[in-house]
């Protein structure tokens, strides 16, 4: 499998999107925008074979991700024989079950809690109903009291310059240059937004105060009633800005969706606590897998 992998490229986007649409369980990790945005950081490569798109990362080590395509239309017993000894990460639990049924006793799996993607009811995030969300609603109301009725704007490619300007300000405040992960995220945001029209299903929203952008959120239609959130940033010093952009993005861009997928916590305790305070409805569970 090694010889014909190549770096993630937008030149093959049509082929990828065809297989993406056929994938039964779509994870935010596997969107083309996410793969291409983080391509350099993880050394991501792909290969189209056996009716699937195979993905691997080469940095900091070589390890495989789950393949994309119609998992129910391929001969896994034959394909998995060729992957014996391989380690896979970020494998959705649905695919793990398919593999274990195809090759009983040869597919070892371990839940990877840090890679589980958080799924929230769209109405919960959009309306912050009842006592369960009273603290979030208080922050939202505080924003309105301080800055007036939110100036929320749907994001399009004409507003990318504003968003990238906010991202630069955010990075200076958080000293991204001293953090490899924040530098990589900054690069991913710049790569994706600078090629906004190259990706299908991207959507976004922004908040302005006195004509100045103070927050943005960028997401993507994942299909199956899910809207994923790739990036969300707010400027320091604007009280309630995160609760407000979160709520209004879910209310506007999320209209008509059942769930909002807000990605994983990567085992960061503070991030996990923050995500849990929004009371997820479910998770897209993922595993580490070894094919023996």
Contact 73, 97 (CB under 8 A): no
Element (H, E) at 122: helix 122-127
Which phi and psi angles does 56 have, rounded to 5°?
Answer: -140, 155
Q: Structure pTM?
A: 0.95
Number of alpha carbons in the 13 Å side-chain half-sphere of residue 13: 14
Residue 55: exposure state from Cβ atoms within 10 A (0-12, 13-18, ≥19): buried
- Alpha-carbon separation of residue 245 from 18, 139, 150, 151, 231 (angstroms): 32, 11, 9, 10, 11
Structure tokens at 149: 């009725």
CA distance linking residue 108 with residue 27, whole number of Å:
21
| pLDDT on residue 157 | 84
Q: How are beta strands 226-234 and 259-261 bridged, if at all?
A: parallel
In the numeric block, the tokens 């909002």 are attached to 260
* Count of positions (residues) in the chain: 292
| pLDDT on residue 3 | 56
| pLDDT on residue 184 | 94
CA distance linking residue 284 with residue 197, whole number of Å:
28
CA distance linking residue 109 with residue 264, whole number of Å:
19
| pLDDT on residue 164 | 96
How far, rounded to the nearest angstrom, does the alpha carbon of residue 79 sit from its chain's CA centroid? Answer: 28
Q: Which parts of the chain sit beneath pLDDT 50?
A: 1-2
Contact 187, 40 (CB under 8 A): yes
Which phi and psi angles does 59 have, rounded to 5°?
Answer: -140, 135
| pLDDT on residue 121 | 98
Contact 173, 186 (CB under 8 A): no
For residue 43, the tally of other CB atoms under 10 A from its CB is 16
Structure tokens at 287: 């595993």
| pLDDT on residue 2 | 43
């Amino acid at each position: 499998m090694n010889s014909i992998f190549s770096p993630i490229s937008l030149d093959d986007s049509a082929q990828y999107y065809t297989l993406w649409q056929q994938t039964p369980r779509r994870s935010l990790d596997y969107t083309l925008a996410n793969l291409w945005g983080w391509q350099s950081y993880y050394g991501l490569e792909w290969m189209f074979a056996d009716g699937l798109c195979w993905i691997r990362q080469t940095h900091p080590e070589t390890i495989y991700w789950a393949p994309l395509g119609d998992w129910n239309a391929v001969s896994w017993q034959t394909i998995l024989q060729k992957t014996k000894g391989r380690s896979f990460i970020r494998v959705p639990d649905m695919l793990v079950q398919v593999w274990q049924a195809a090759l009983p006793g040869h597919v070892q799996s371990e839940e990877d809690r840090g890679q589980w993607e958080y799924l929230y009811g769209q109405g919960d995030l959009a309306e912050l109903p009842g006592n369960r969300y009273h603290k979030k609603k208080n922050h939202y109301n505080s924003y309105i009291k301080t800055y007036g009725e939110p100036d929320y704007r749907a994001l399009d490619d004409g507003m990318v310059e504003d968003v990238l300007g906010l991202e630069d300000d955010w990075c200076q405040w958080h000293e991204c240059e001293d953090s490899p992960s924040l530098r990589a995220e900054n690069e991913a945001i710049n790569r994706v937004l600078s090629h906004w029209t190259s990706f299908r299903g991207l959507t976004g929203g922004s908040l302005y105060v006195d004509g100045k952008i103070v927050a943005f959120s960028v997401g993507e239609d994942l299909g199956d009633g899910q809207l994923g959130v790739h990036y969300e940033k707010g400027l320091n010093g604007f009280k309630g800005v995160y609760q407000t952009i979160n709520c209004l993005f879910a209310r506007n861009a999320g209209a008509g969706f059942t769930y909002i997928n807000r990605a994983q916590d990567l085992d960061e305790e503070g991030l996990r606590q923050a995500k849990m305070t929004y009371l997820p409805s479910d998770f897209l569970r993922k595993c580490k897998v070894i094919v023996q």
